[in-house]
């Protein structure tokens, strides 16, 4: 699995996401980025394909000028990103209202509840994207998948509380990024500067 993240820096998010996705898919397939076709359809996730190439699973996330993409040749994947400085008003109360009790207890035990909330949110959003259902009216948010698994930029995803579900969360000074996959896989992250 290949992942990349970039700051839009005054550019629109979609062109940045498309450029980034072309580069990541090219890395996965050892092809030229110009061969990768990215398509967007109404109310459907973006797709990427290479003529006469293998099927490619992709996921795109964008938030407040950050764009993250993931691509894998073998399995569906999900990715989500939030800026680390995004302020959540009363994260513990919001978690209590929408998340599983165990999630709320974990969040309350964290020294920075705002960042903990963003970790939980991106984890659940990436799992929803992996499954093709988003947050589905809150049903997914209320499920307990365990606490976010902190990983580094080129490490294996870790198991969650649910069988056949693996997850990893990366934290930097700038963003919180989460990736989900149906099996243990190594994640390679590239940080692109646009």
Confidence band of 114 (pLDDT split at 50, 70, 90)? very high
Q: Does the structure show a pLDDT above 80 at 185?
A: no
pLDDT score at 156? 65
pLDDT score at 70? 92
What residue ranges do the domains of the chain occupy?
2-193
| pLDDT tens digit sequence for 154-172 | 566 777 877 778 888 888 8
Question: What span, in angstroms and rounded, lies between the C-alpha atoms of 83 and 37?
Answer: 28
Confidence band of 138 (pLDDT split at 50, 70, 90)? low
pLDDT score at 194? 47
pLDDT score at 171? 81
Average pLDDT along the chain: 84
Nearest to 77 by CA among 168, 176, 175: 168
Let me know: does 77 contact 59? Beta carbons within 8 Å: yes
| pLDDT tens digit sequence for 9-47 | 766 888 888 899 999 999 989 999 999 988 887 766 778
pLDDT score at 59? 93
Q: For 73, phi and psi rounded to 5 degrees?
A: -85, -20
pLDDT score at 134? 73
According to the CATH classification, is domain 2-193 in 3.40.1350.10? no
pLDDT, greater one: 1 or 142: 1
Which alpha helices (DSSP H) does the chain contain, by range?
Answer: 13-29, 91-98, 101-108, 113-131
Q: Span 134-145, mean pLDDT? A: 69
């Amino acid at each position: 699995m290949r992942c990349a993240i970039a700051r839009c820096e005054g550019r629109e998010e979609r062109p940045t996401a498309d450029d980034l996705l072309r580069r990541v898919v090219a890395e996965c397939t050892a092809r030229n980025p110009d061969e990768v076709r990215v398509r967007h359809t109404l109310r459907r996730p973006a797709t990427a394909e290479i003529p006469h190439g293998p099927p490619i699973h992709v996921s795109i996330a964008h938030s407040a000028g950050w764009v993250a993409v993931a691509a894998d040749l073998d399995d569906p994947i999900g990715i989500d990103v939030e800026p680390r400085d995004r302020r959540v008003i009363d994260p513990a109360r919001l978690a209590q209202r929408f998340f599983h009790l165990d999630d709320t207890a974990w969040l309350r035990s964290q020294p920075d509840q705002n960042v903990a909330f963003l970790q939980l949110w991106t984890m659940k959003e990436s799992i929803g994207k992996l499954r093709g259902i988003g947050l589905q009216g809150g049903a997914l948010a209320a499920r307990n998948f365990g606490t976010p698994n902190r990983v580094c930029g080129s490490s294996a995803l870790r198991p969650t509380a649910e069988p056949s579900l693996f997850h990893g969360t990366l934290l930097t000074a700038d963003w919180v990024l989460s990736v989900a996959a149906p099996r243990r896989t190594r994640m390679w992250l590239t940080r692109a500067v646009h």
